[in-house]
Chains A and B, each alone.
Chain A
Amino acid sequence: MLFELREVGLDRGGRAVLDSFSAAIPEGATAIVGPSGVGKSTLLRLLNRLADPDRGEIFYRGRPLAEYEPLALRREVSLVPQLPALLEGTVESNLRYAAELAGEELDVEETLARAGLDPSFAGRDVAKLSVGEQQRAMLARALAQRPAVLLLDEPTSALDHVARDAVEATLARLRRESDLSLVLVSHDPEQARRLGDRVVEMPA
C-alpha cells in the first residue's frame, strides 16, 4: 500500500478542516474527489508533510509518515500545488533548482518534454508565461526531481478545455511511460474517472 490514512484529523483556527478520514491509496493512479472545502488540498499537504495531522495516523509504504525526514520525503513524494508558484527566473533555472535539491542530473529537454513543453520554454521568463504554461512548468519542475509519487492538486482548474485535455493527455502518458504513482485531487468526477485507476470520495 502506498498510503494508508487512519482516522486522520486536522484543525485550523479552532475548526476541523479534516476529521476522522480513513482511506487506502495503492500504487498507480488514485483520484480524490469531493466538494470544495472538504479538505482535499489539506489531505495532499499531509501526504508529503507540508502539514502534520492533529489526530490519527498516516502510513507511507507501511511506515508511519512521521518517521520520514520531511525534506527527503518531499523530494520522493512531490506536490504540485493548485496555483502555480514558480521562483523568479527562467523555466530552466526553476528546473535546475529542483534537480539540485534532489541531487538529480537534469536533462532539460527531456524533462520539459515529459511535462508536454517544447525545448523553447527553457529560456522563457516564468513571469511571462500563461497560467496554463506555468502549471506545466510546475509539473516539469516536480519531474526534475525524479519523484516516485506525484501529488497533483486540481491540475487543470485554471485551464480552458483545450489546455485541460492537453494536461490530461500528458498525465496519462506519464503514467504509461513510467512507474510513477499519481494521487490527484479534483472537484470534477468526470476528470477523476478519466485519470484515476481508482476514485476515493471525500464525504462533505
Chain B
Amino acid sequence: MSTTSIHVELWQVAASLVLVALAAAISRWQRADLERDILVATGRSIVQLTLVGYAIKLIFEADTIWLVLALLAVMVFFGAVTARHRADKVPDSFGPLLIALALAGASTLGLVVALGIFDPTPRYLVPVGGMVIGNAMTASAVALNRLGDEMADARARIEATLALGATAREAAAPIVRRALRSGMITLVDSTKTTGLIFFPGTMVGMLLAGASPTDAVRLQLILLYTLLGSVSISALVATLLAYRHFFTPAAQLREL
C-alpha cells in the first residue's frame, strides 16, 4: 500500500467553520433551536479530535504494541459504558458488552494481522481498531436494545414456553435471533449500497490524501469485511451472554 501524505493548514480548518456558521444560521432562521447544540458539537469535536490526535501521535512515535493495546482497552471500556445506556432494559448489561467488544476487537484484529493483511504496527492497529470497536459498540448496543424491548413485550409468551419445560435458551431463542439480526442488519445493508448511495469514509479520506482510487477501493473493501466480522461477533456474544440475565438458574423469568 502506498503511503501518501497531505498537509492541512490551520487556516483551512478555520475557514471550514463558515459552514458551521451557515448551519447555525439556518437553525436560527427556521427556529430549529439547534444553535446551542451546534456550538457544543463544534467545540467538542475540536477538543476531542485534537486530544485524540495528540494521543495517536504519541503512540505512533513510541511505536510500541503495549501502548496500542492500552488504547484499545480504553476504547473497549468506554464503548461498553456508552452502549450500556442504549441497553438500559437489560439487567447488568455492562459485563456482556465489555466481553463482546473485547472479543470482537481481539479476534478481528488478530485475524487481519495473522492473515498478513495489516502489519501489527500502531499505524494500522490504532485506526482499524478504533473502527472495529466503534462498529462493534453500535451493533451490540442495537442488539441489546432490541433484546430488552422484546423481552419486556414477550414476557407472557416466554413464560408460557417455560411452562412447557423449555430451557431459558429455548424460550428466548426467537428473541435472541431477532436481536442478533437487528444488530447486524445496518452494516449488511450499508455494505450492499456502498459506493452507490454513499462513499465510505476511508475511501474518501484516501482519495483526499492523494492515494490511487484502486488502493482506496481495496482498503475500503478490507475494512468493510473486517467490520462485518466484528459486528457479527459483538452482536452474537452480547446477546448470548445478556439473555441469561432475564432468567434465574431454575429457568424462571426474573422479576425486573
- Tell whether A pairs with B: yes
- What is the interface of chain A, defined by CB distance below 8 A to chain B? 12-13, 45, 48-52, 70-75, 78-79, 81, 83, 85-88, 97-98, 101-102, 138, 141-142, 145
**A12 to B253 alpha-carbon distance, docked (Å):** 13
Determine the interface band of chain B, counting residues with CB < 8 A from chain A: 10 to 19
Q: Are B160 and A49 in contact (CB under 8 A)?
A: no
Select B156's contact among A52, A72, A85, beta carbons within 8 Å.
A85
Q: Are A72 and B165 in contact (CB under 8 A)?
A: yes
| B218 on interface, CB distance cutoff 8 Å | no
Q: Are A50 and B252 in contact (CB under 8 A)?
A: yes
**A79 to B255 alpha-carbon distance, docked (Å):** 19
| B162 on interface, CB distance cutoff 8 Å | yes
For A48, what are the chain B residues with a Cβ–Cβ distance below 8 Å?
A: 163
CB distance from B164 to the nearest CB of A (A): 5
- What is the interface of chain B, defined by CB distance below 8 A to chain A? 156-157, 159-167, 170, 174, 250-253, 255
- With A85-B157, A87-B157, A88-B174 in contact, is A79–B163 under 8 Å at CB? yes
For B162, what are the chain A residues with a Cβ–Cβ distance below 8 Å?
A: 50, 74
- With A13-B255, A52-B252 in contact, is A71–B165 under 8 Å at CB? yes
CB distance from A88 to the nearest CB of B (A): 7
Which B residue sits closest to A45, measured CB to CB?
B159
Which A residue sits closest to B253, measured CB to CB?
A50
For A138, what are the chain B residues with a Cβ–Cβ distance below 8 Å?
A: 160
Select B159's contact among A81, A98, A145, beta carbons within 8 Å.
A81
